[in-house]
Amino acid sequence: MMNGDTTEPLLTARELVKAYGRTEALRGASVELRPGEILALTGASGSGKSTLLHCLAGIVRPDAGSVTYDGQRLEELPEKRLSELRRSDFGVVFQFGQLIPELTALDNVALPLMLAGTGRGEAQARAGEWLERFGVRGQGELRPGEMSGGQAQRTALARALATGPKVVLADEPAGALDSLASEQVMTALTHTARESGTAVLLVTHDAQVAAYADREVQLRDGAVSTLGVTA
């Protein structure tokens, strides 16, 4: 679908190294995400998938190597610029949701829209539409503590997509869902991404989820072991 040889990557990790004490989470991991591409990042538990995603999002600083987004080296950006960029261009779905516990589902999704300058009424209306897309409109008044894991994941996806990001980085977005629900959520995510040309990095250990991607990259012990061929 994408022409991999001629399209400039939008987001690139080059030779990332990251250790937590004596645990080497990443040892020279490289990956490229092209505009509009859906890329699956797979690998066993503990292989470094979440760490790589956090480095790509500019949340974790690697010990060595570089992350480039749209021509800018993330490690060279001041923290303020980095958080602006994250807010405007990135939609991040964390492995454990990380919704704001005090806010309802609707307000969790509306918040980034309001931070981007949308008025409260309009932000809530749009948030409702995003919850609908992910099948949780009826749960809009629930706070995260009152939600099931699946409802929290659906809400986190709605929140990540609502601002119209250029890149979505999703860490096991269907991890708490059964296979039917996972199919619904993956369909909603990939349809939205295709419609808007959003690039998606999909971290998953589930082959059924990876099948939604154009391409797959596999991590083994903190490094890429196989590079999928772009069609």
Give contact residues for ligand ADP (rule: CB under 6 A): 20, 23, 25, 43, 45-51
**Which one, 51 or 151, has the nearer CB to ligand ADP?**
51
**Which one, 49 or 86, has the nearer CB to Mg ion?**
49
Q: How far is the CB of 122 from ligand ADP (least distance, A)?
A: 36
- Interface region with Mg ion, contact rule CB under 5 A, candidates 45-53, 68-76, 98-106, 217-225: 45-53
What is the rounded distance in angstroms from the CA atom of residue 136 to the CA atom of residue 114? 20
Binding at 176: pick from ligand ADP, Mg ion, none (beta carbon under 5-8 Å per type): none
Binding at 124: pick from Mg ion, ligand ADP, none (beta carbon under 5-8 Å per type): none
Q: Which residues contact 226 (CB under 8 A, 6 or more apart)?
A: 216, 217, 218
Other Cβ atoms closer than 10 A to 88? 14
Q: Which of 47, 50, 182, 204 binds Mg ion (CB under 5 A)?
A: 50
Give the binding-site size for Mg ion (rule: CB under 5 A): 2
Binding at 6: pick from ligand ADP, Mg ion, none (beta carbon under 5-8 Å per type): none
**Which one, 13 or 131, has the nearer CB to ligand ADP?**
13
Q: Which residue is nearest to Mg ion (CB)?
A: 50
Q: Which residues contact 211 (CB under 8 A, 6 or more apart)?
A: none
In 3-state terms, what secondary structure has residue 198? coil
Q: How far is the CB of 58 from ligand ADP (least distance, A)?
A: 16
In 3-state terms, what secondary structure has residue 105? helix
Backbone phi and psi for residue 165, each to the nearest 5 degrees, phi listed first: -70, 160
**Which one, 95 or 155, has the nearer CB to ligand ADP?**
95
In 3-state terms, what secondary structure has residue 104? coil
Cα separations (Å) of 135 from 44, 141, 164?
A: 29, 14, 19
Binding at 23: pick from Mg ion, ligand ADP, none (beta carbon under 5-8 Å per type): ligand ADP
Q: Which residues contact 100 (CB under 8 A, 6 or more apart)?
A: 107, 108, 111, 144
Binding at 46: pick from ligand ADP, Mg ion, none (beta carbon under 5-8 Å per type): ligand ADP
**Which one, 41 or 199, has the nearer CB to Mg ion?**
41
Asked if 134 and 154 count as a contact pair (C-beta separation under 8 A), the reply is: yes
Alpha-helical regions (H) of the chain: 49-56, 79-89, 105-115, 120-133, 149-162, 179-196, 207-210
- Residue 47 makes contact with Mg ion by CB under 5 A: no
Q: How far is the CB of 50 from ligand ADP (least distance, A)?
A: 3
**Which one, 51 or 163, has the nearer CB to Mg ion?**
51
